[in-house]
Amino acid sequence: MRAVGKRGKRWLILGHRWLGIGTALLFALWIGSGLVMLYVPFPRLDEAERLARLAPLDWDRVKLGPDAALALGRATDVRLEMRGDHPVYRLAAPDGGRVTVSAETGERLGSIGLDEATRIAGGGRVERVWRDQWTVTARYDPLRPFQKVASGNAAGTETYVSEPTGEIALVTTRWQRGWNWVGAVVHWVYVTPLRARPEAWRQAVLWLSGVASFTALTGLVIGIWRMRLRRRYRGGAVSPYRGLALWHHAFGLVGGIGLAGFIVSGWLSMNPNRWFSSLSVPDEIRVAYAGAPGRIGLSPDDFRRGPETKALRFTAIGGRWFVVRDNIAAGLDDATVTAAASVPGGRLVSAERITAYDAYWYPHGDARPLPVLRLIYDDPAATWLHIDPRDGAMLNRLDRSGRVNRWLFDAPHRLDLPGLILRPAGREAAQWGLNLLAMGIAATGLVAGWRRLVRTAR
């Protein structure tokens, strides 16, 4: 047994050494790019920015009510807004289908051309794009292809206009794109040809992060095992190493738990073996929530009165249509929302209006709304639904596996800890401290590995 133990320790050290040579650069890239991502998120057009780029509704040209648009397509969400100089109804079905209908003629509108895309984006050089680095994910699939309009301004703004619908889908600047090449693109391994194939990308990152996790965990085990606090090494040292190896050991003892937590939680973020459910609300829940609404029954005269409006929404909840202006649905109350929501196989056991952030509802790289309704069900997955009571929007679905993932991924990877999530400065300082320690581990390991490779080559 002692011989087996010695052999196991030897293979543990050799495995860590040679895998460390292969993954040290990967660690350094992930750590550095993660620090960039603290300040520069991946480009995405939020609702406030999208509305800011729309012209106010030209009510004189809105001739038809929303029922004229619904006659041409099924939808549970209808938006009235401008497409360039023309008012249009945009219909969104639960399955992601999109239909655009003229609010002047009731005609179903087709794809836009280069000239119209240029006008919508405010002018510039146009290029037709199906998928590129910044529109690589599946969330853009209903809007492809795009007319990408480069404005030529000092900021290097590029606007992506959906060819099928005429919507502005994304706006990026040269500053965002430049920092994201060394931020999110590196951190998430967002190589466009690979990321365009979701399952291939997922498997690649799973294996990379899996090997990296093994390296980090074996390093943590070896570092603790080789430390002596009682029967110390010669000269009273607690570590048997000298020089660069001593620095690597010291950084590992101080920052090894943080690095291992970061790497292992990154592996978990790829959802190995599909252990965790998505936070997205499934289509079946959204369909049931909308119900089977009939006609909206409103004419332009019924909703054109009021302050200047850039977009008007009609949303279906519990089989009824509600008019949403400035993110407020007229006539909507908590009881209506609670009665409309349901989860297959589950009974509502609790409905609570959350007015302050807590461990499961807090800013998550975005400004999450408050108050929010939390509906808890007794289905096998112990589902929670979070719903915005102002407009009835379903914000996410958090089941038991999602709550577990919140502590296994968000807590160690993003430091979303109860004492830090509402203290941005403290959370940022903690992230810098842990990442600098982890960078010390990676850098000393990288140099030591390079020296060993050079010696081996000789």
pLDDT in tens, 22-34: 899 999 999 999 9
Share of the chain above pLDDT 70, in %: 98
pLDDT in tens, 148-205: 999 989 999 999 999 999 999 999 999 999 999 999 999 999 999 999 999 999 999 9
Each domain of the chain, given as residue ranges in start order, spans 2-40+192-277+423-457, 47-178
Q: What's residue 5's pLDDT?
A: 64
Q: What's residue 326's pLDDT?
A: 78
Alpha-carbon distance of 399 to 382, in angstroms, equals: 5
Orientation of helix 243-268 relative to helix 198-225, angle to 10°: 140
Q: What's residue 363's pLDDT?
A: 87
Q: What's residue 408's pLDDT?
A: 96
Compute CA 291 distance to the chain's CA centroid, rounded to the nearest angstrom.
Answer: 28
Pairing of the two strands 146-150 and 158-162: antiparallel
Which ranges in 352-423 belong to alpha helices (H)? 400-405, 411-414
Number of CB atoms found within 10 A of residue 339's CB: 13
Whether this prediction's pTM lies above 0.85 is answered by yes
Cβ(318)–Cβ(336) under 8 Å?
A: yes
Q: What's residue 12's pLDDT?
A: 82
**CA atoms within a 13 Å half-sphere pointing along the CA-CB vector of 9:** 10
3-class SS shares of the chain: helix, strand, coil, % to 5: 45, 15, 40
Alpha-carbon distance of 193 to 152, in angstroms, equals: 27
Cβ(72)–Cβ(88) under 8 Å?
A: no
pLDDT in tens, 87-115: 999 998 766 678 899 999 999 998 888 88
Amino acid at 320: R
Q: What's residue 98's pLDDT?
A: 84
pLDDT in tens, 331-356: 999 999 999 999 999 999 999 999 99
pLDDT in tens, 238-261: 888 899 999 999 999 999 999 999
Average pLDDT over residues 271-281: 93
Alpha-carbon distance of 157 to 366, in angstroms, equals: 22
Please count the residues of the chain: 458
**CA atoms within a 13 Å half-sphere pointing along the CA-CB vector of 124:** 21
pLDDT in tens, 367-417: 789 999 999 999 999 999 999 999 999 999 999 999 999 999 999 999 999
Average pLDDT over residues 284-293: 92
Cβ(27)–Cβ(263) under 8 Å?
A: yes
